Structure 1
Amino acid sequence: MPWYAVEALDDALDATKSLLTPLDVRQWLKLALVVFFLGSGGGSGPSFSAGGSTGTPSDGPGTTPGPGQFDVPAEFGDVLPILLGLVAVGLLVGLLYVLVGAVMEFVFVESLRRQHVRIRDYAGQHFGRALQLFVFRVALGLLVVVPALALVASVVGLATGGLELSLGLLVGLIPLVVLFGLLVAAIDAFTANFVVPVMIQKNVGVLGGWRRFWPTLTREWKQFGVYALVRVVLAFAAGLVSSVVGGIVGALLVAPVAVVGVLGVSLVGGLDAVLGSPLALTALVVVVLAYVLLLVAVLAVVFVPIQTYLRYHALLVLGDADRDFDLIPELRREIRESG
């Protein structure tokens, strides 16, 4: 019995070449913009973290913190509203990123299907379905965020003296968070790689897409199991490339950012002065975020062929598993007849 995921390895490479060659800089940059919002390409989105602080009223200025209690400096109390504001802004930006990423999932698949990138046209065509995908991903994320917040609360409980109760929660929540994280990652990856094409092909929403895809998944579970194993290997290889290229690009970009940071800290009066000044601390955070965004943008350009290959590979596997879901029948036939 042929394994679709193995047979599609060479075909995905040929499909990638057919889209990206000859080099079209404008189309490549458009794809880089799409890839920027796809994140790691496995159907993953940005992660969110939340934290809280608890305090107890002081008995007086000379009170010494008891065991497991934290003495929060006055300077930190002054900066705390700024930090909370930054967390709120970060959460909003993260949600916007996930929303745009959901739109770009459809733009990417349509671009590979039609071998021409039209971001605005494809985004408008599939915005309703993308909105459903966004809500679906947020709901999936809550399955991890809620136990993760409980895990954070148990760690805080350990630090503040509620040892017995929080330790039991900690022991139980760690495997739960890991299990939910793996499950959510798998569901999101299959949604992006297989359900989104079904949604496009059958003109249905995300739940309708899963209902259409589920019989194929259960019938061809061995094929999709092999695909998952092959995808892990491909992801490992892509991770190695990411580490090498990211290290090189990061090193090249960090120099000017470091110079700006050192000069800025020196002008303000040192790191202590930066931490004590809400304005300076905000400026430092903006510089760091600008560096991260620039790094990700450059890497997006580099990783266009990798993401294109991985998604073509998934489309080929899906079409082999069920011809009714094949978005690229002509390209498939052309590649396999020439091979």
Structure 2
Amino acid sequence: MAWHAVRAAGESVTATRTLLSGASLAAWLRLSVLVAFVGTLVTPFLVDFNRGASLLPSIPETAMPAVLAATLVLAAAALCVGSVFEFVFLDALRGERVRLLEGSTRRFRAGLQVFGFRAALAVPAGGVLASVVLFDAPTALVVAAGVLAVALAAIDHLTLAFVVPIMLVEGCSLPEGWRAFSPTLREEWREYALYLLIAAALWGAIALGGGLLGALVAFAVLVPFGALGTAVGGALVTQGLARTVVGHAVIGTLLGPYLLVVVSLVLLVHVPLITHLRYVALFVLGDTEERYDPIPGIRAAIRRG
């Protein structure tokens, strides 16, 4: 057996380097916007897990329904945008110019199908998760919930990694894309099982590496912002203003720009990481079913080299 997934992991490094080395700053910025929705929404960078659980008790019970409703709406909107951006990102990986608005308009109907499918997967996953969290679930239910979560995550990932490229290449609907992909999946199930293991390992590396890089970026950006805040705050205090008032004013003024700079830089860091992960899937798809190869030119150029 060829084990295309192993070969793809190496070739994707070359494809990523070739794509990004020739990209302009504007293209990098557009790619970072795409990555924010197709990659880093599930990447735990700059997250304080110790304080995360303490946020819910601080919300008044009367406001909890409104908070949950707003959270669901925002999550659905992000999922919808991300589903459309999957096609736009794939266009960019195939060498097309990155155009967010035009690409989203062109791929909106296909993205809406993917959004509906992913939302349908999220409903049972959310229900099982809520039952495990809110109730004293027995061990058997927890294990079953874990198995279901893994199965649904695998289906979701196979859809994004392989069915979406087939939809783009063939210009077909989501059900037609799955019907086209299913024979290849059954015939080459070992290849795709290995790919899922490699993809999970790469996601773990991205989560860990992205988190560490994000922390370094946050600290590096904090130095100039801290120096600026100290200088401005010291100047205001010498004018007779209260130190507490000055501190709150400086923090309130600089916090927004600081977070904007940190998030922008972290997303730029994630661009090559997510790009490499997606190229792995595209190489595997073309090697197992040449008819649906979304990057034949890129593949041929790398292998000639």
TM-score computed with the length of structure 1 as normaliser: 0.71
Q: Which of 207, 232, 242 is residue 210 of structure 2 equivalent to? A: 242
Query: Which residue of structure 1 lines up, in the alignment, with residue 88 of structure 2?
Result: 107
Aligned with 2:127 (options 132, 146, 156): 146
Shift of 1:236: 3.0
Give yes or no for contact 1:15–1:331 (8 Å, CA) kept in 2.
yes
Alignment partners' CA distance in 1, 2:193 and 2:256: 38
After the TM superposition, which residues 25-174 of structure 1 pair with which residues of structure 2 at under 5 Å, given as runs? 25-40=25-40, 79-155=60-136, 169-174=137-142
- CA gap of 1:324–1:226, structure 2 versus 1, over 3 A, is same
Residue-pair matches, total: 273
- What secondary structure is seen at the aligned counterpart in 2 of 1:204? coil
1:235 Cα offset (Å):
2.4
Residues 93 and 288 of structure 1, relative CA distance in 2, 3 Å threshold: farther
After TM superposition, give the deviation of residue 334 of structure 1 in Å.
1.1
Say which of 299, 310, 317 aligns to 2:284: 317
Please, which moves more after superposition, 107-116 or 243-252?
A: 243-252
Partner of 2:235: none
1:189 aligns with 2:170: no
Q: Deviations over 1:15-43 (max 9, x none)?
A: 11221113410000000000001134889
Distance 1:13 1:243, change over 3 A: same
1:302 matched to 2:283? no
Q: Is the 8 A contact 2:40 2:270 kept in 1?
A: no
Aligned counterpart, 2:237: none
Q: Given the alignment of the two structures, is residue 175 of structure 1 paired with residue 156 of structure 2, yes or no?
A: no
Which amino acid letter does the alignment assign opposite residue 275 of structure 2?
A: T
SS, match of residue 135 in structure 2? helix
Give the 5 Å matches for 1:267-282. Answer: none
1:10 partnered with 2:10: yes
Query: Aligned equivalents of 1:292 and 1:80: distance in 2?
Result: 29
More helix by share: 2
Corresponding residue SS for 1:2: coil
1:147, 1:176 within 8 Å by CA — same for their partners in 2? no
Deviation of 1:292 (Å): 7.4
5+ unaligned residues in a row in structure 1: which ranges?
44-52, 54-71, 156-168, 260-265, 268-283
Identity of aligned residues (%): 32
Please list the CA deviations of residues 104-125 of structure 1 after superposition, one character each: whole Å capped at 9, or x if unmatched: 1010011111342122222112
**Aligned partner letter, 1:28:** W
Residue 219 of structure 1 corresponds to which residue in structure 2?
187
Partner of 2:197: 229
1:38-65: per-residue Cα shift (whole Å, max 9, x none)? 134889xxxxxxxxx9xxxxxxxxxxxx
Shift of 1:293: 7.4
Deviations 1:124-183 (A, max 9, x none): 12111111111111111112111122223424xxxxxxxxxxxxx433321122111111
Q: Provide the rounded CA distance (Å) in 2 between the counterparts of 1:236 and 1:203.
A: 33
RMSD of aligned alpha carbons: 3.3
Retained in 2: the 8 A contact 1:216–1:322?
yes
Residue 289 of structure 1 and its aligned partner are, at CA, apart by 10
Return the TM-score normalized by structure 2. Answer: 0.79
Mark the CA change 1:22 to 1:111 in structure 2 (over 3 Å): closer, same or farther.
closer
Letter in 2 for 1:22: G
In structure 2, the gaps of 5 or more residues are 44-55, 230-243, 246-251
The question of whether the paired residues in 1 share the 8 Å contact of 2:39 and 2:274 is answered with: no
Q: Judge conservation of contact 1:42–1:192 (CA < 8 Å) in 2.
A: no
Q: What are the superposed Cα offsets for residues 247-271 of structure 1, whole Å, 9 maximum, x if unpaired?
A: 21244567879x9xxxxxx77xxxx
| CA distances 1:49-94 after superposition (whole Å, capped 9, x unpaired) | xxxx9xxxxxxxxxxxxxxxxxx9xxx89x3333432332222111
* Inter-partner Cα distance in structure 1 for 2:179 and 2:213: 40
